[in-house]
Amino acid sequence: MSFDLDRRAFLAAALGATALGSVRPARAQSVATSAKIVIIGAGAAGSSLANRLAARLDGAEITIIDARKRHLYQPGFTLIAAGLKPAGYSVSDTGNWLPRSVNWIEEGAAEIDPEAKTVTTDTGTQVSYDYLVVAAGLKLNYDQIEGMDVSLIGKDGIGSVYASPEAAEATWREMDRFTDEGGVGLFTRPATEMKCAGAPLKYTFLTDDYARRKGNRGKTEIVYAAHSKSLFGVPIVNEKVRMLYGERGFDTRYEHVMKAIDPGRKVATFATPEGDEDIPFDFTNIIPPMSAPDVVRNSPLPWADKWVGQGYVEVDQYTLRHNRYPDVFAAGDVAGVPKGKTAASAKWQVPVVEDQLVAQIAGQEGTETYNGYTSCPLITRVGRAMLIEFDYKNNLVPSFPGVIAPLEELWVSWLMKEIALKATYNAMLRGRA
């Protein structure tokens, strides 16, 4: 093994345990119960929680409902769309991550009745619960962009990193062609809440980097359409990204929200405060509006006065317990909390739900709370990233203070994303991180 590989392996091992924030040990004490617990969604949060509850509870009947047989490691999509990993890098079997003692219903949840305490699946099976954890992630609403359909990804310069590993790979092919040929690259993000708000920024940086490496930046224009007056929700990070965007020569258009696309003409239409504006493109990375899945959005669980129409679950932002239905919790992207739509957040939310739920079963008060921890390895070029970690108060909360400076473009932060993150993520799925 070369020195470089040795060093990478060592760093990966050292960072592996901490790539989603510093380590918190699983609690060992088990509780005897015959409680019926239903988890909706077997993604990052749901699988992790199923494992932790199975280890913690003795005698509980735990059911997880999810029709998706493929587990998708979504942080890998950016690497796939950068031509650095194949589509298979992000795909595994959902069943491989679930503990044997948990009953997996391989169907979608179609209806939640928190009064009757039942969940009905899309084939009509009714499952009753004592406690419900909603971990259904969020839904990509491509149909809210007129003229857009996932089948267009990979054609006519249309890319979209978010849709699937295959879409990410098709996006890479379009980006690779674009950075050979040049033209206008158009990058978007939705006006809704979204998972990994750093991902649209990362992909813009990566495209710029490829164009430069190929010597084609001179014939490439990069337009970034920001939905609001800023590029990132945390002011100090926004300032840094704004500076980098200026240095890289990006044309940032603020308050531009994509509303329609004409693939034939290669023109996208944006809603702006001054009215609609058309922007032509040779390549575009479309990030669609997002919402809670319909089963949640159409249930009694969402906030009435926050994220209206998006349907995120009305939970206390610290305990993740529902404000109106105390036997219901939410974890992961579907939780209606002000920050935290990343896998790194799920890693911190799941032990809180575990603690609060197990304490409730035992007739006690939970002690763990979620502080909004969100982490985003913000890639700025191949081999460099800024490891941005923050909380509800927009404080930067670095896991390696004095070692990894959050706002510096570092190789070690890149390694966190490229190597360490997946190992930590997999450990989280098993309930071990």
Ligand X SMILES: Cc1cc2nc3c(=O)[nH]c(=O)nc-3n(C[C@H](O)[C@H](O)[C@H](O)COP(=O)(O)OP(=O)(O)OC[C@H]3O[C@@H](n4cnc5c(N)ncnc54)[C@H](O)[C@@H]3O)c2cc1C
Residues near ligand X (CB under 6 A): 40-46, 65-66, 68, 74-75, 77-78, 108-109, 135-137, 161-162, 195-196, 199, 293, 295, 332-334, 341-344, 346, 375, 377, 417
Compute the distance between CA of residue 103 and CA of residue 66 in angstroms, rounded to an integer: 11
Which amino acid is present at 301?
Answer: L
Find the shortest distance in angstroms from Cβ 167 to ligand X: 10
- Residue 401 burial (CB < 10 Å; 0-12/13-18/19+)? exposed
Find the shortest distance in angstroms from Cβ 6 to ligand X: 26
Q: Are 373 and 341 in contact (CB under 8 A)?
A: no
SS (H, E, C) 113-139: ECCCCEEEECCCCEEECCEEEECCCCE
Burial code of 14-53, b = ≥16 C-beta within 10 A, e = fewer?
A: ebbeebbbeeeeeeeeebebebbbbbbbbbbbbbbbbbbb
Residue 241 catalytic? no
Distance in angstroms between the alpha carbons of the first and the last residue of the chain = 29
Residues 6+ apart with CB under 8 A from 182: 211, 216, 218, 219, 220, 282
Closest residue to ligand X, judged by C-beta, is 43
CA dist list (Å): 247 to 241, 242, 244, 417:
10, 9, 5, 23
Residue 196 catalytic? yes
280 — phi, psi (to 5°)?
Answer: -75, 155
Active-site option among 279, 376, 420, 427: 376
245 — phi, psi (to 5°)?
Answer: -60, -40
Closest to ligand X by CB, 98 or 199: 199
Cα Rg, the chain, nearest whole Å: 21
Compute the distance between CA of residue 134 and CA of residue 337 in angstroms, rounded to an integer: 13
Closest to ligand X by CB, 269 or 356: 356
Find the shortest distance in angstroms from Cβ 220 to ligand X: 22
Closest to ligand X by CB, 162 or 250: 162
Nearest to 189 by CA among 232, 153, 148: 232
Closest to ligand X by CB, 31 or 67: 67
Three-state DSSP state, 413: helix
Find the shortest distance in angstroms from Cβ 334 to ligand X: 6
Closest to ligand X by CB, 30 or 411: 411
Q: Are 359 and 365 in contact (CB under 8 A)?
A: yes
Closest to ligand X by CB, 362 or 404: 404
Closest to ligand X by CB, 44 or 352: 44
Find the shortest distance in angstroms from Cβ 10 to ligand X: 22
Please give the structure tokens belonging to residue 323: 């404000």
**What secondary structure letter does DSSP report for 390?**
E
Active-site option among 12, 54, 196, 257: 196
Closest to ligand X by CB, 40 or 231: 40
Compute the distance between CA of residue 167 and CA of residue 155 in angstroms, rounded to an integer: 11
Compute the distance between CA of residue 376 and CA of residue 196 in angstroms, rounded to an integer: 7
Find the shortest distance in angstroms from Cβ 89 to ligand X: 13
Find the shortest distance in angstroms from Cβ 178 to ligand X: 18
Find the shortest distance in angstroms from Cβ 58 to ligand X: 25
Catalytic residues: 196, 376
